[in-house]
Structure 1
């Protein structure tokens, strides 16, 4: 039986990753009325693959890429205890493979890379109404920290 493997994304993965990006956006549209109605892009995927301060990982099963996620090293605000943290994003698992621990495997790979960079803080954003995502992140140890508020004028 083939196992799910985690590896660095390559340029050969771009077509699949572009589809995943649209999957992330479509999943988030119901939570964000400020997103443009036409096709949009969140990520510079090719740039992330090339970057030394970003680790873009994919999950692979039987030769198919089935999930993705990245960690990006960022400077922290000068008043925080940590000087740098890793921001996580592009967390996506193909619908047929959800509930199989794929996201956890990707997260474990990202945490390993972040630790290797001597980073001790992980951060991510999630919509406050996205209860299933919040529960998934809490299950692997994340805690709620701050709510961003907005007012359209």
Structure 2
């Protein structure tokens, strides 16, 4: 793999990946983003401007990753410290090459670009529900330094207070285990997409998100106590830790019982008894299929999907992600 700066010959491939990123952004924030195709002149302007560029990841002479970057300088004002930084507007890796270190190589290339211009910081913005991206950037050394907030003028009020508290506790349990955090955030992301497609009621969304955050919470303790992360041990320890966390943050006792039931049986297909459990099952499987041998056998994979996925949204996601290019 080679990392280099874009040229005019790369415009078509840059547009292809940026259009894919736009589609993903619309899925995550449909009330903010809309489908729009990138124009040649927009890409050309960025390439030709001395303070902007595209950093590309190249494999077999094909563009497999793009970083859209800008060199910026804060003005010397009474309330601002004068500074120079690189703003990462967009970063995307072709879905066929994800989880292979391409993103990290792009970040390294962006760092080199910025350091040559004496940049002191590297900044970016992330959609709050894009948990896998947040986990990736945190692993690369990025930290939150400012939050953008919005108030919706609506009759419907909904707080994700307990979801955010649960995320914080999950990170404490998995401190030192970044891959486990990444897995959890990816499962959460899948669960939220399924909830969107299935029109899950607002009042049920936080509960299912909490289930997704805590589903593997017992894996580290299972390894420590039993020397194994096999399903029975993970389920046994998971429900204990989940209960402790939820009691500590003051979650509804009746809801705690249901969370613990799902966490304590989340590897047991026969125990699925509701849409909340089913969504967790499908979200977890969407992530776990990435490492299954079934991926090498189209018919076997189709059988696994048809047996396990009951929601229309989840099954559609599985077909698109794992069968479309088979």
Q: What TM-score do the two structures reach when normalised by structure 2? A: 0.43
Asked if the contact 1:82–1:121 (Cα under 8 Å) also holds between the matched residues in 2, the reply is no
* Partner residue in 2 for 1:14: 11
- Deviation, 1:90, is 2.0
Aligned to 2:108: 108
More strand as a share of residues:
1
Aligned residues: 149
Q: Which runs of 4+ in 1 moved over 3 A?
A: 40-43, 77-82
1:146 to partner: Cα distance: 1.8
Deviation per CA, 1:82-134, whole angstroms, max 9, x where unpaired? Answer: 42211012201101100111111111011011111011111100011110000
Q: Aligned-pair RMSD on alpha carbons?
A: 1.9
User: What residue in structure 1 maps to residue 135 of structure 2?
Assistant: 135
Structure whose alpha-carbon radius of gyration is higher: 2
- The Cα of 1:150 is off from its aligned counterpart by 2.3
CA contact (8 A) 1:11 1:49 kept: yes
1:99 aligned partner: 99
Per-residue deviation at 1:73?
1.1
Instruction: Decide whether the 8 Å contact of 1:93 with 1:102 is kept in 2.
Output: yes
- Residue of structure 1 in register with 2:69 after alignment: 71
Using the TM superposition, give the Cα deviation of residue 144 of structure 1 relative to its aligned residue in structure 2, in angstroms: 1.3
Give, in whole Å, the separation in 1 of the partners of 2:49 and 2:60. Answer: 27
**C-alpha deviations, 1:19-60, integer Å up to 9, x for none?**
111111111112221223x43549921111111111311110
Whole-Å separation in 1 of the counterparts to 2:67 and 2:80: 25
Equivalent pair of 1:71/1:114 in contact (CA under 8 Å): no
The answer as to 2:60 corresponding to 1:62 is yes
* Structure with greater proportional helix content: 2
- Kept in 1, the 8 Å contact 2:26–2:33? The answer is yes
Q: What SS does the aligned partner of 1:27 have?
A: helix
Contact 1:6 1:57 in 2 (8 A): yes
Higher relative contact order (CA 8 A, sep 6+): 1
| d(CA) in 2 for partners of 1:15, 1:151 | 38
Measured after TM superposition, the shift of residue 71 of structure 1 is 2.2
Q: Unaligned 5+ residue runs, structure 2?
A: 154-326
Query: Is the Cα–Cα contact under 8 Å of residues 69 and 106 in structure 1 kept in the other structure?
Result: yes
